[in-house]
Every structure is written in C-alpha cells, then in structure tokens.
A and B are shown apart, each in its own frame.
Chain A
Amino acid sequence: MSASQAKPKARPARGERVPAPKTRVLVCESTACASAKSAEIRAALEEAVVRLGFGDRIEVGFTGCHGFCQKGPIVVVEPEGIFYCQVKPADANEIAESHLAGGQPVKRLFYRHPVTKEAVPRYEDIVFYKNQQRVILRNCGAINPEKIADYEDRGGYQGLEKAVTAMTPEQVVEDVKRSGLRGRGGAGFPTWRKWDICRRQPGEEKYVICNANESAPGAFMDRSLLEADPHTVIEGLAILGFAVGASRGFIYCRAEYSLAAKRARTAIDQALGRTYLGKKILGSKFHFDVEVFEGGGTFVSGEETALLSSLEGSRSMPRSRPPFPAVEGLWGKPTIIDNIKTLACVPSIISRGADWFASIGTAKSPGTAVFSLTGKIANSGLAEVPMGTRLSTLIYDIGGGIPNKKSLKAVQTGGPSGGFLPGGKIEIPLDFDSLQEAGSIMGSSGIMVMDEDTCMVDAARVFLSFTQSESCGKCVACRVGTRHMVGLLDKIASGRGAEEDLAKLEKLGRIVRNSSLCGLGQTAPLPVLTALKYFRSEFIAHVADKRCPAAVCRELVTFRIIPDRCTGCQMCVKVCPTKAISGPRSQPHNLDQSKCIKCRSCYEVCKFDAVAGEAIIIVS
C-alpha cells in the first residue's frame, strides 16, 4: 500500500510546482542501495527529524535508483541538491543534526572527484551527472516510485491524456515516426514501423508487451527504471496500446527483479484508481489493462518470440520469423513487444513533441541511450547520453577514467554478446550504425571497461561461457558450436592450446554466427571473434609461449611472496585452504608451490587486510 493512498492530501494541479518547497531528504532504496541498509538509514533519519522537532517542516522520503550504485547508499537533500554518498545508518544523526538542524552540510559524506579528490557537494556538479542528458531516466531518483502524485507533478500521464483525448491512433504512430525513435532493445528497428504494421492488422484482439527481461550481465538499467519510475513505463505501454488498438498489455519482467515487479504492481493499482488504466481511460472510449508477468530469468527470453513462448507457459525458445509478432504474436494475435527503454521515451515524445525528440542525438539515431558502465572504471553506474556521444566522453568525462593509474585495454559494448573494442577505437560515436561498423553492437548497452590487468583470452571465455549456458538448445550451431568454442578457449587458457586452435575458433565462430536462428546465437561468438582480431598477440602468447601476459589464467600463473614486503602477519597463513603458506609470526612466510591451488585468498587478504599489504604478487 502506498503512502499516497494511505494519506490523501491536496496537491496542486498537474504540471504546477509547489510554491515554497519544503526540505526533503530522499534516501535511495533500490536493490543495490538497499543491500547497504538504506531502509535503516531512512528510519534513522525519520527518527532524528522527529526527535529534533522538524517533523512538520522536513519530509524524509525515498526514491528509486540514481544510477550511481557504486557510491550507494545515496541520500539527497532537496531543494539544495546536496548529494551524500556511501552513507551508513550511523551517519543519519550527523546529517540530521549538522545539516538539517544546523545548516552545515556534512562534508565528510560528499562525493569526491576520483582524480582531484575534491569534494563536490551538489548533485548537478558531479561530473558523472553533469555530462548526462536524461530523457529515459528523467524521473529516476527524483520521485518516489510508489507515489503517483510525484509522477504527475513532473508532467506524468500528460502524454497519455493528449493521445487519448486529442489524437487518433494514426497521429500517435505518425508522431513516433517523425521522432525517429528506434528500438532500444539493441537491434535499433524503427519503432513506428512495427506499430504501423500491428495497427493495420484486422481484428479486435491485439496485445502489447513491455520487454523488461533484462538478463544481460552488466546491464541494470531496466531494473533501475522499473524500480525508480514504473509509471513512465505504464504510460508508454498504454500509449502503445492506444496506437495499435490493443486493450491488454503485459510487463514481462525477470523473476530475479522482485522489487521491480512489486513497484510495477503498486503503480498499476494507483493508475487504475485515477483512470489512467482500466475502462474508459480519462473519459475516452479507450480500455486498457496491464499485468506484470514474472518470467523465468533466462537470457534468451529477451528475444521477442522466446518471450512470447514463455508468456504462453512454455519453454522459452525462439520461433522462426516471419510471421513477425506484429502480425502473429501472442496466441497467434498481432502483438507488439517493445523494450522498456523504448516505451519510456514514448510519453515524452507525445507530450513534448516529436521534433524535440528528433533534435537530440544524431539524424539516424535520434534520442538518448542509457549505458551501464561497469568494470574497471572510477564511476560505475547508469549514464544516459545523447546518441552519437563518443565512447571516450562516456569513459573519461562521465566515468572518470580508469582507476588505480592503470591504462585502458579494451571496452566491450552491448553486453555479454558484444564485441571488444581496443583502446585505440574509443573515439567512436555511440549509435546503432557506428557500433555495428566497428564490429560490435548496441545490444543491451552494457559497457564493460577492461584495464591492462585483464586477459582477453579469459574475458572471451567468460562471456562465451555465459551465452553458451544460456543457449536454449534449439539450433545445433548455437548449442554445440558455442560448447566447442568454450572447450577450445579452456584449452588455450590452460596452456594446452596450439596455433591451429585459433583458426578453428574463427571458423566455428563464423558458423555459429551465420546459422543460428535468433540474436543470441548470432552475436554469441562476437567477443571471441573481436578478441582474436584485435588482441591476437595475447592468444599467441598463450599457445606459443604458454604465458598469460596479464597474469590471469590460473594454470599459467604462480603466486609469490616478496620477502622484503612481508611482515609475517600470518593473515595469509590463516586463510590458505590447503596450508600451502607457512612461517612464524613476524618473519617472511613461505609459499609451497606444490600445495598452492591458486585460489587468490592470500592475495586478497594481503591486499586488503594484511599489515604489509600487497606482499603477495601473481606472475606469469
């Protein structure tokens, strides 16, 4: 039950701002921040505010994801826009007493610039946010996702209102066409074309589906969006339903994202209560219902026809196309499946106009794209930038560069099945066509940054093992081919590979790419093929010299203790599972190579907990 339903209060007409905003303390309660006890922080803040007697003047609330999960839990104080990061429940009192009561913000909790170490108090001055342009994530972190009034105050449901009361379905499709919106699921198909095909299909029974089955490791924008701003998705889906003539919609969400599903259900109930959904929406003749369907959490379910099979209660396997779902989809009826980010663009396109949207980004790929920056990068999180922004801008200006004075080695775009781009290619503009030309894909928009410590053989193996285990097994090329490729990579990584294995890998990769039915198989070999193309020397080092230049591949490395650095603190002796390390206290320890299983425990404990620190090194 949401707070807004429990406590109805007068609110200004939609679109108007509250005249004198009172101080609001907003705690992020998305999955990542919640794991660091943000609910406790909020409770402590609420308690402190009441204790200090500010209960009526200061509101403590919560929001969805700010996209900067690495720095979580995040607390924002409005209207000043003071941004606190990595807050602990114990810090709540200090924030309340020093900042809220005394007017002195707590400097200790400010975000610090990764390079200059300068404290940045305000939200909008942080480089991570300063260079972003938020269209899809416009409300994320700014509203309480369980309060429909917050969404309405920021112009919510105006797009739907305009569509159902002042426009025809043809005009809606026409607007989307003029905006140039392309599917944000990765393939970049013009959204209006699908809508138009579906709209022209005869019959009353049509379905629309929001694809939020984000299972690509490294990408979490769908989860963040649904957790932080579920109403935008519902509004987009309702507009789509109106445009194509469907009266039933589904939000297909991954089973693992339980909080996202819960927030979406709450939002649907609220929207029903205000006639944004249900019968006679906003007084028009349009009926539309939405339900949340929690899928089984497989990667392949993100493929549209596989998603349909899953929704119909079967194994999630793709079907051959044509017929396309827009003609024959769910239960054989015309169905549109749009990615959640595509749908999140729609309300703004209708309310602010197609020309506004088309003016953002590039001519061929208008609008913005949300990237999730992960890996070896100073600021990891969600960044939304106009299409055509250079990859280097994303990595260095928004991402803050590579930490620990390391250098950039490779960037993988498009999630686990995207290709690697070498450090020399980072000036490439990020849009559908440029990425494809460079041998990678837009895909799930996950961006994985790798530094010099990454082994490309190992990276290719990790990504391929993922797609291999997620292959649904329908096509032989994908099911058997990826398995053999992983086998070959295992062989190379363990030093048993031969030079001709590289040619075998390339050949197999081409076969899998060309003879698989769906996008999973067609893109699965990309990491291997691009790694072989741009980092061939590393593969040669593994097969010819039996060395792993980055000292990652387990069977090709050894662990050593540097006697000069070791203080004999015995931390590593305690954690070693095979008792390979020995030595008395306060004297350099010995590592028995014959017992070492290379599990990294000693390396990690030395790096983080030991007195000396980094006395254990890994060499190839």
Chain B
Amino acid sequence: MATRMPGAVQQIIRERRKGLLPLLKKAQETEGFLSRETIRLISRKLRVSENEIYGVATFYPQFRFQPPGRNHIQVCLGNACHVGGAPNFMEAMKIEKNLAHGETTPDRKFSLEGVGCLGCCAIAPVVVVNNEVHGRMNRVTFMRLVESLDSPEKPS
C-alpha cells in the first residue's frame, strides 16, 4: 500500500475496513447466519476479498455459517458455569437430540452453541434460549426446558 496517500483518502479506506465487523454482525442479526451470498456482497461493497472476510469471520466465535434452528440454545461454558455442570448440558443434547456445538437439527427445530462467559456468573450455570437468559440450571431442569420448547402446546 502506498504510504504517501492523502490523509482523507486513507481515512475513507480505514473506515470502510473498520466497518467489516459491525457489518458482519448486522448481517447475522438479520439473516441469522452468514451465508455465502452475504459474504460475497460484503466483499464487493467493502472491496475486501472473500478469503479475507472468511479469515476474519471464522476467527470470532460469534459468527455462524449455517442457519440456526427455530430454538437457538446457547450454553454458557464460562468457568463458573463449567464448574456448575454446563458441559453436562452439551452432553445431554448430544445424547437426547444428537446435537453438538454449532449444529442444527435436520428439522431445524433446535440449534446448539457452546459460548464463552455471558457475565451472569452469580446465577451460574446459565443457558440462553432465544435470547432469554435462564439461570441456576441443572441437567434435569435444562432438559425439561428443552422438552418444553419441543412440545406442540408451545409452538415457537
């Protein structure tokens, strides 16, 4: 890159690149995940290669590349929650629903994500279902919660 570029030009390029993370975030908020088409579009608009965008997006755990299920379950795996038994929730989902981190069930009913600390350590272990925080869970109450989402009386 030329080092002697006029300051104003440089500023435009920087701001454009700085917009990458917020744009990816916005795209994921609207679409639920980052599709190939979205990334291609962002690549064209920002003039950053698709490769580079994938490089950045895959670095950050918040970005998904597959559509989430109708019930998106996030299990906090921060230390306080881990000690409180959060890995058990992941295991229970694997056994009961054959679902692992980052996956969605074939019927798109559930998707599961193990996430870093959500900062609710005082009410650990914490599970977030469709952006609603549930604290002080254990394996049994967690599975009851999942089943309640599954039941036909409470359509999502």
Contact = CB atoms under 8 A, between A and B. Distances in A.
B77 to A, nearest CB: 8
Interface string A437-462: 00000000000100000100001001
B27 interface: no
Contacts, number: 158
A314 interface: yes
Contacts of A256: 62, 115-116, 118-119
Interface in B55-100: 55-56, 59-63, 78-83, 85, 88, 91-92, 95-96
Given A70-B123, A313-B56, A601 B79 contact: no
Nearest to A36: B135
Interface stretch (B15-23, B31-39, B104-112): B15-23
Q: Which of B14, B92, B121 has the largest count of A CB atoms less than 10 A from its CB?
A: B121
A612 B59 CA distance: 49
B92 A214 contact: no
Contacts of A523: none
Interface in A286-335: 293-299, 310-316, 331
Interface stretch (A216-224, A503-511, A529-537): A216-224
A123 interface: no
Given A70-B122, A600-B85, A604-B138, A296 B116 contact: no
A374 B124 contact: yes
B119 to A, nearest CB: 4
Given A294-B22, A604-B138, A299 B116 contact: yes
Contacts of B82: 217, 462, 466
Interface residues of A, number: 60
A72 B139 contact: no
B41 interface: no
B133 interface: yes
A449 to B, nearest CB: 11
Interface residues on B, range: 35 or more
Contacts of B133: 31-32, 34-35
A296 B59 contact: yes
Interface string A20-44: 0000000000011011100000000
B117 interface: yes
A374 B92 contact: no
A118 B54 CA distance: 57
Nearest to A300: B59
B67 to A, nearest CB: 19
A216 B117 contact: yes
B40 interface: no
A526 to B, nearest CB: 14
A217 B140 contact: no
Contacts of B83: 375, 454, 459, 462
B140 A218 contact: no
Nearest to B55: A315
B153 interface: no
14 contacts: A35-B123, A217-B121, A218-B117, A220-B120, A255-B25, A296-B21, A296-B60, A296-B61, A296-B62, A297-B62, A313-B21, A314-B17, A331-B10, A380-B122
A-B residue pairs, 8 tightest by C-beta: A296-B60, A217-B78, A35-B133, A217-B117, A69-B122, A220-B119, A313-B20, A217-B79
